[in-house]
Amino acid sequence: GEERVGDFEGAFAQAPVTLDERYTTADESHAMMEPHATIAAWDGDKVTLWTSNQMIGWGHGSLAKILGVPKENVRLDSPYVGGGFGGKLFVRADAVLAALAAKAVKRPVKVALTRPLIANNTTHRPATIQRVRIGATKDGTITAIAHESTSGNLPDGDPETAVSQTKLLYAGANRLTAMKLAHLDLPEGNAMRAPGEAPGLMVLEVAMDEMAEKLGMDPVEFRIRNDTQVDPQDPKRPFSKRDLVGCLRLGAETFGWAKRNPRPGQVRDGQWLVGHGMAAAFRNNMVLKSGARVRLDGDGTVTVETDMTDIGTGSYTIIAQTAAEMMGVTLDRVVVRLGDSAFPVSSGSGGQFGANSSTAGVYAACVKLREAVAQRLGINSEDAVFADGQVRAGNRAVPLGEA
């Protein structure tokens, strides 16, 4: 699709200084350490799959539909994931084949994809062809900016969202962003490690550097000159908080930016050439619904259950920390169980929404548990203090396990 603000073509044509460049990025594979792999076992008309998947809630429903069985007859268990990077957001051939084969031979079956099969039968980040045009006044104020991207995918697929960050990062009254899709009968293109942002921001920031060079302007100051405190696509919508300028100034000061030699190839460390560069970046803050179950046992152990996954990002740790802080116990008193479709549905891992969403669900469950504990002890929940394995209110202190 195409989005426009103002008259880009007119402003670009009138700009004293312009840039019009094309850039390409290659197809990329996730290359996670652990391949897509599943063990499936049937028990009557119910099937359990021990698999490697980032989004248990999504996969649970998808497998039930593919296998033609009720959702309650399918269980996914993925307590540890050896890397995903977006490549395991959805169930793939390993899970389907393992389930079908296990049913056919009436015994557990394991399917693990080889590296060539991962590249050819799962997903990847599509290559892009991008064009960036920037028009500015001689003092470096951007008056026109356009970012267009073409990528390939299956006929029912989506384009790589390489232009999304350009909509928000820099000011410019006249704007054009566009994404085009070429239908290709090649492996599916889908989410991979900051989909859109990785290839798109790289191209935008290279273009900003090249434009700064044309202007004879410091790249940091060029970006600061074109900071915006409102959505450039909708100036009536301000950012709640945005301190790109502060980040740029602090980074420049910390790295001695002012002392650098801006001419390439002029600084050496022995046989090595030393360069100084900079770029800005941001990531949208996505939040999804996320559920959790928190249980307090008689010995004071707090158990957290959620179908959230850990893809090497530390979900076990941050969820344990959240529960420990909320319930006033040490980490060794918290048991975290993840990745089982029998547990409450969470946000899953992806899009950088996993940490804040899943811990918010655990926090909310702990709030309810604290209220239940306080009610059982006859304490006003607002007066109850959970600390050092105890519940305190006034002069009264009760061990948490006795609540």
The CATH class of the 2-28+125-240 domain is alpha beta
In this prediction, residue 28 carries a pLDDT of: 96
Average pLDDT (204-210) is 99
In this prediction, residue 123 carries a pLDDT of: 96
Average pLDDT (303-318) is 98
Contact 29/118 with Cβ under 8 angstroms?
yes
Compute and round to an integer the Cα radius of gyration of the chain: 26
Inform me whether the pLDDT recorded for 9 exceeds 90: yes
Average pLDDT (243-251) is 98
Q: In this structure, what token pair is assigned to residue 129?
A: 């062809």
Average pLDDT (185-196) is 94
Inform me whether the pLDDT recorded for 305 exceeds 90: yes
In this prediction, residue 284 carries a pLDDT of: 81
Predicted confidence band at 285 (pLDDT cuts at 50, 70, 90)? Answer: confident
Contact 74/67 with Cβ under 8 angstroms?
yes
The CATH class of the 37-122 domain is alpha beta
Domain positions in the chain are 2-28+125-240, 37-122, 293-402
Inform me whether the pLDDT recorded for 5 exceeds 90: yes
Q: pLDDT, tens digit, for every residue of 271-284? A: 999 999 999 999 88
Average pLDDT (45-53) is 98
CATH architecture observed for domain 293-402: 2-Layer Sandwich (3.30)
In this prediction, residue 283 carries a pLDDT of: 87
Integer Cα distance of 23 and 70 in angstroms = 48
Q: pLDDT, tens digit, for every residue of 108-147? A: 999 999 999 999 999 999 999 999 999 999 999 999 999 9
Closest CA to 200 of 173, 171, 160: 160
Percent of the chain exceeding pLDDT 90 equals 97
Mean pLDDT of the chain: 97
Tell me the pTM.
0.92
Inform me whether the pLDDT recorded for 403 exceeds 90: no
Integer Cα distance of 366 and 354 in angstroms = 18
Exposed e or buried b per residue across 368-395, where buried means at least 16 C-beta atoms within 10 angstroms of its C-beta = ebbeebbeeeebeeeebebeeebbbbee
Inform me whether the pLDDT recorded for 1 exceeds 90: no
Inform me whether the pLDDT recorded for 107 exceeds 90: yes
Say if 37-122 and 293-402 have the same CATH topology. Answer: yes
